[in-house]
Amino acid sequence: MTDMNQSFGAPEKPKLPSGLNVLTILTIIGSVFAILMACYQFFMAKTNLAKMEEMINSDKYDEMPGFLKKLMTPEALEMTRRGYENRMPIFLISILAAGLCLYGAMQMRKLKMQGYYLYLIGELLPFVIILVFMGTAAFAGFGILSIVFALILIILYTVHRKYLVNN
């Protein structure tokens, strides 16, 4: 039946480029993971804050290895406290951002340009929200890796934008 459609001049659907295919699959996996992590962080915020306070105030703090002491600083405790206090807006915006990335990736699999813009908004939105609720300290240490990773993905998607069309 498909041979018959091709013989009558039916337009052939453009194929999804392999690079864009890999990127969108990684984005779908990452978005689902981000949704799961947002749920975990929302429900475990109070417990995580209590554990961090307990560790910092415990007698064993001085016996901890140096790298753990660097992770358990008063600044880290304050960030954890801010995260707990603002857990609802952070949770909602994290879910929204991951949803935008997920929907954007699915649209880009259909070669639609709007998917790129939805993905871009979903990728950048968490950084704005973290800056507002947590401050610049959230981007120190391991936080810088999330920025680098996001920038790499944005650049790769921008390179593949040539395959997307406005519909």
* Number of structural domains in the chain: 1
Nearest to 77 by CA among 51, 39, 43: 51
Q: Answer whether residue 38 is part of any domain.
A: yes
pTM over 0.85: no
Q: Answer whether residue 4 is part of any domain.
A: no
Q: Answer whether residue 40 is part of any domain.
A: yes
User: Residue 10, by phi and psi: left (phi above 0), alpha (psi -120 to 50) or beta?
Assistant: beta
pLDDT tens-digit profile of 35-73? 999 999 999 999 999 988 888 888 777 777 877 777 777
Q: Answer whether residue 2 is part of any domain.
A: no
Domain that holds residue 58: 18-163
